[in-house]
Amino acid sequence: MNIRKIYLSFINFIFICSYSFGQNYSVSGVNFDEHIYQKNPIEVLKSKYLNNQGIPTHEIFLKNNGIVKNIISNEIIPIFKITIDKKQISYSNNKINEIKLAEILNVDFYIQRIKKYKSQNSAENIWDGRVYLENNNLIVGGYSSKYNERPVGKIDLENNFIRPIEQQFAEQFPILNIPPDEILFDPFSFKLLQITQNSNDIVEEKTDEYLPIQISNEIGNHLQNMQFDILIDEKGMTLILNAKVSDQVIKISECKILESDIIDVINSYRPELIKGCIQPGNGEIETFILEGKFSNRISLVNDDIVIQEIKTISTEYENLEVIKSDIEIDGKFNDWHNVKGTSDFKGDRISYLYPNPDTDLLEFKVTNDDKYLYLYSRVVGAHGRTGEKGRYYWYAYIDVDSNPNTGYSPTRDDNCYFGIPIGDDCEAQFEFIGNKFVKTFFGFSGVGAEKEVLEGKLELGPSFYSATDRNGNKRDKYKIEYVNRDGKRYITHDYTEGTSEDIIIALSADASEVEMKVELKGFLKDVNGNPILSKGSIIDIAVGVEASSDYYNSDDWGADSSPVLYGYKIK
| pLDDT per residue as tens digits for the range 138-167 | 999 999 888 888 899 999 999 999 987 566
Q: What is the pLDDT of residue 38?
A: 57
Residue 24 has pLDDT above 80, yes or no: no
Higher-confidence residue: 221 or 80? 80
Per residue in 507-549, pLDDT (tens digit) is 999 999 999 999 999 999 999 999 999 999 999 999 999 999 9
464 HSE (CA, 13 A, CB side): 15
Q: What is the pLDDT of residue 18?
A: 36
Place 169 in a pLDDT band, splitting at 50, 70 and 90: confident
Residue 339 banded pLDDT, cuts 50, 70, 90? very high
| pLDDT at 516 (0 to 100) | 99
128-143 exposure pattern, b = at least 16 Cβ within 10 A, e = fewer: bbbbeeeeebbbbbbb
Question: For residue 435, what pLDDT is reported?
Answer: 97
354 neighbors 549 (Cβ within 8 angstroms) = yes
Three-state SS string across 395-445, please?
EEEEECCCCCCCEECCCCCCCCCCCCCCCECEEEEEEEECCEEEEEEEEEC
Three-state helix/strand/coil letters over 468-513: ECCCCCECCCCCEEEEEECCEEEECCCCCCCCCCCEEEEECCCCCE
Name the pLDDT band for 415 (thresholds 50, 70, 90): low
Distances (CA, A) of 370 to 111, 330, 535: 33, 20, 7
Q: How far is CA 183 from CA 121, 159, 163, in A?
A: 13, 9, 11
Euclidean distance between CA atoms 170 and 176, whole angstroms: 6
pLDDT digits (tens, 9 = 90+) for 34-75: 444 457 899 999 999 999 999 999 999 999 999 999 999 999
Mean pLDDT of 103-132: 96
At residue 324, the pLDDT reads: 58
Element (H, E) at 453: helix 450-455
Quote the pLDDT of residue 314.
Answer: 43
pLDDT band at 414 (very low <50, low <70, confident <90, very high): low
Hey, is 289 helix, strand or coil? Answer: strand
Predicted TM-score of the model (pTM): 0.91
Residue ranges and CATH numbers for the domains of the chain are: 3-37+126-197 (no CATH), 70-118+205-318 (no CATH), 334-569 (2.60.40)
Radius of gyration of the chain (CA): 25
Q: Please, are residues 123 and 117 in contact by the beta-carbon 8 Å criterion?
A: no
pLDDT at 12: 29
Rounded Cα–Cα distance for residues 462 and 150 (Å): 19
Candidates 103, 96, 98, 89; CA nearest to 280 is: 103
> CA-CA distance, 419 to 412, in Å (whole number)?
9
